């Protein structure tokens, strides 16, 4: 593959930026990768493992001369970073991000970007419960969707170029409106994470009653919840604070459904439960048929892919 951007600036050097660095290197997609992170500790690790061609101390420095700038920090920090880099961006550069919420990022970042810069927010639907500069890996985005939500003013050429980068990293790319993205993700990712956090919280309370049994006998369902509930607290705090309306909407619907099932259990309505579970099983089949998961037996918890969660 050939070089798509001459200089890529990664702002934030965690799981997603690190995976992008590995994937861009593997595909020869970037002439030079310059990275920066807030803490000197993260920057030192990035230097030590050779994550980027150059690690610099500030975001302002990182974006100098870059034709692609990737904001890979928690959603709540995007506005402040954009304010810092705004005056230092090269004319004609593309600014993108990888945040799990899109409308709020558009509102936070947009006002700080000068004329002549293309702003194309994005979100790779791939992740793990791990974070930090050592957690990235080149295959993270393979066969997973990346959603782009271009704002008015970004040219089709700039969008096509960013699309080519993601495709070069193995991703499937689609475009959609930022608000629609936030609603879809509230259903597929944000609310499920909240439910996992809640279920693990319930078990934690129960553990005080049943001592270690919750851990000792934890079955697949609960173990899957604990993995999701181990996701980065800062990232997920920001997701719920910035995708408030869509998450509350879906959570309301979830609560109504839960009451329907609760009533079916109370009334001994086996037909209702059976029909419900039959419908949900079909959704799982659809995901497997779409190539977004495998139906390999997983009882031994042996993972063939490292990625599991996603923001
Ligand atoms: P991560 O591994 O925790 O890395 C976050 C990076 O952001 C670190 O380099 C951190 O710097 C920096 N950072 C944290 N707070 C900051 C602040 N207030 N100001 C400036 N920099 C700050 O996170 P990640 O998983 O790569 O997530 C990055 C973005 O991708 C988030 O917006 C998240 O919503 C999105 N995303 C995540 C996933 C997922 O599953 N993890 C999936 C898709 C999208 P230090 O290390 O120096 O603290």
Q: How far is the CA of 281 from the centre of ligand 1 (A)?
A: 34
The minimum-distance atom of ligand 1 relative to the CA of 101 is 34
The minimum-distance atom of ligand 1 relative to the CA of 17 is 26
Q: Is 121 in the pocket of ligand 1 (CB under 6 A)?
A: no
Distance (Å, rounded) from C-alpha 292 to C-alpha 143? 8
The pairing of strands 68-71 and 54-55 is unpaired
Distance (Å, rounded) from C-alpha 112 to C-alpha 58? 17
**Lateral strand order in the sheet of 122-124:** 122-124, 145-148, 172-175
Fold: same for 5-176 and 180-310: no
Of the candidates 225, 9, 189, 160, the one whose C-alpha atom is nearest the C-alpha of residue 101 is 189
Q: What is the pTM of this model?
A: 0.92
* Strands in 121-216 per DSSP E: 122-124, 145-148, 172-175
pLDDT above 50: residue 223: yes
Does 180-310 carry CATH code 1.10.3660.10? yes
Enumerate the domain spans of the chain. 5-176, 180-310
Q: Is 14 in the pocket of ligand 1 (CB under 6 A)?
A: yes
The mean of the pLDDT values for the chain is: 92
Return the residue whose CA atom lies nearest to atom 22 of ligand 1.
73
Distance (Å, rounded) from C-alpha 146 to C-alpha 149? 10
For the segment 18-75, what is each residue's pLDDT rounded down to a tens digit? Answer: 999 999 999 999 999 999 999 999 999 999 999 999 999 999 999 999 999 999 999 9
For the segment 139-179, what is each residue's pLDDT rounded down to a tens digit? Answer: 999 999 999 999 988 899 999 999 999 999 999 999 999 99
Q: Is 73 in the pocket of ligand 1 (CB under 6 A)?
A: yes
For 303, the token pair is 């993972």
Q: Is 253 helix (H, G, I), strand (E, B) or coil?
A: helix
Q: How far is the CA of 73 from the centre of ligand 1 (A)?
A: 4
Topology adopted by domain 5-176:
Rossmann fold (3.40.50)
For the segment 175-207, what is each residue's pLDDT rounded down to a tens digit? Answer: 999 999 999 999 999 999 999 999 999 888 887
């Amino acid at each position: 593959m050939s070089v798509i951007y001459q200089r890529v600036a990664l702002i934030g050097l965690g799981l997603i930026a690190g995976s992008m660095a590995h994937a861009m290197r593997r595909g020869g997609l970037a002439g030079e990768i310059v990275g920066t992170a807030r803490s000197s500790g993260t920057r030192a690790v990035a230097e030590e493992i050779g994550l980027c061609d150059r690690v610099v101390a500030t975001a302002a420095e990182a974006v100098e001369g870059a034709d692609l700038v990737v904001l890979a920090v928690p959603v709540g920090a995007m506005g402040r970073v954009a304010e810092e880099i705004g005056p230092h961006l090269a004319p004609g550069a593309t600014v993108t991000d990888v945040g799990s919420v899109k409308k709020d990022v558009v509102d936070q970042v947009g006002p700080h970007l000068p004329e002549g810069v293309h702003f194309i927010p994005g979100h790779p639907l791939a992740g793990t419960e791990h974070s930090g500069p050592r957690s990235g890996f080149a295959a993270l985005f393979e066969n997973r969707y990346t959603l782009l939500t271009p704002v008015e003013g970004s040219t089709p050429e700039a969008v096509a170029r960013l699309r080519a980068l993601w495709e070069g990293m193995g991703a499937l790319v689609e475009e959609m409106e930022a608000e629609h993205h936030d609603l879809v993700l509230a259903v597929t990712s944000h609310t499920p994470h909240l439910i996992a956090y809640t279920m693990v919280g319930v078990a934690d309370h129960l553990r005080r009653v049943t001592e270690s049994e919750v851990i000792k006998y934890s079955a697949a369902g609960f173990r899957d919840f604990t993995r999701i509930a181990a996701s980065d607290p800062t990232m997920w705090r920001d997701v719920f604070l910035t995708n408030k309306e869509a998450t509350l909407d879906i959570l309301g619907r979830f609560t109504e459904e839960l009451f329907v099932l609760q009533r079916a259990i109370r009334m001994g309505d086996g037909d209702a439960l059976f029909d419900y579970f039959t419908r949900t099983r079909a959704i799982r089949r659809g995901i497997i048929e779409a190539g977004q998961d495998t139906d390999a037996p997983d009882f031994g918890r042996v993972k063939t892919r490292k990625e599991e969660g996603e923001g």
